[in-house]
Amino acid sequence: MKVFGAAAAHAGIQYETVEYDIGGDRYLATGEVLPDSVLEELRGFDAIYLGAIGHPDVKPGILEKGILLKVRFELDLYINLRPVKLYPGVPTPLKDKGPEEIDFIIVRENTEGLYAGIGGFLKRGTRDEVAIQEMINTYKGVERCVRYAYELTQKRNKENTLTLCDKANVLTYAHDLWRRVFDEVGEDYPDIKKEYAFVDATTMWMVKNPEWFDVVVTCNMFGDIITDLGAMIQGGMGVAASGNLNPESVAMFEPIHGSAPRYTGKNQINPIAAIGAAGMMLDHLGHEDAAAKVETSISDLLASGKIKDLGAGRMGYTTEEVGDLIAEGL
């Protein structure tokens, strides 16, 4: 918020914020995860900025389902946008690859697929148990996601290539639909090169030939998995930002990482992913120049070599100082 504020001040952007205390501490104190009244209020904002989710004393799933997934689904934030961009000066585990090669963006469908939460058990707790988890793919849901990806590919100044990452060779219903919709919508974008990659092969190529990718569109579950891989090749969770968008209404921005509870209150965690998310938020709000300044400031700081390591406690600066450096760099 400090960097967002500084960028807004430079650009003369007026804004108002409302803060909500949502998360593990509140849940433990009151039993409330995300009250309906808050959810209703969230619908009315232009953008939502979400800190990381997770608390060591809360059973896994409660906060994730009760906050993050609930907001994504209830507010119909159907696009999860996850840039995979290696900043200069940041080490990647990929041999002989640099910022030129690692610069693509993953469009993850964000409201359907295996995340729909539909399924059940038969004979639960017995040796005959069967657990069923259904995958929902609707024509409308796939179409709006794929169309967004085509539009984005057209706007980006790279190879103008859109890759559909799926598993159409095995998921012969669900991903048959994806392929048909991908081709059908693609007819409206004759200048865009279409590629198809199975998800297993995608993980291989992301490591071996990341330069092949420009925009990748994929379903919710595969997007979840390949964006963690994407985060690693761009230098780790410390730099990976994301946006959950409903292009027609509200959007929510967040770092991809979790809450790193080991570091709570220590002023040691890396804020760059969260700051990058604030930059994406400016862009979404129509302030492309201010967003570009945030990006440049992050990039300049990383290129300067001042930050020793991107890991918490190893940066050579506190969280606050890294925020100050990026705000000053604007």
- Within 8 A by CB and 6+ apart from 147, the residues are 185, 188
Could you say which of 8, 13, 69, 136 contacts ligand IPM (CB under 6 A)? Answer: 69
- Cβ proximity to Mn ion: between 51 and 98 the closer is 51
Residue with smaller CB distance to Mn ion, 83 or 323: 83
Per CB under 6 A, 114 contacts ligand IPM: no
Task: Write the CB contacts of 153 (distance below 8 Å, at least 6 apart in sequence).
Answer: 160, 161, 162, 189, 192, 214, 215
Buried b (16+ CB within 10 A) or exposed e, 241-274: bbbbbbeeebbbbbbbbebbeeeeeeebbbbbbb
Our finding on whether 109 is near Mn ion (CB under 5 A) is: no
Helix 174-186 to helix 139-155 angle, to the nearest 10 degrees? 40
Stretch that binds ligand IPM, among 64-72, 83-91, 168-176, 204-212 (CB under 6 A): 64-72
Site residues (CB under 6 A) for ligand IPM, limited to 247-266: 256
**Among the candidate windows 30-38, 151-159, 180-188, 221-229, which touches Mn ion by CB under 5 A?**
221-229
Window 40 to 59, contacts with ligand IPM (CB under 6 A): 53
Kindly report the number of other CB atoms within 10 A of residue 108's CB atom: 27
Residue whose CB is less far from ligand IPM, 79 or 301: 79
Residues contacting residue 252 through CB under 8 Å, at least 6 positions apart: 47, 48, 49, 50, 71, 72, 75, 77, 243, 244
Report 203-232 residues binding ligand IPM (CB under 6 A). 224
| Span near ligand IPM by CB under 6 A; candidates 62-70, 180-188, 245-253, 293-301 | 62-70
Number of residues near ligand IPM (by CB under 6 A):
6
Q: Using the rule CB under 5 A, is 224 a contact of Mn ion?
A: yes
Instruction: Say which DSSP state 101 is in.
Output: T
- Interface residues with Mn ion (CB under 5 A) are 224
Binding residues for ligand IPM (CB under 6 A)? 53, 64, 68-69, 224, 256
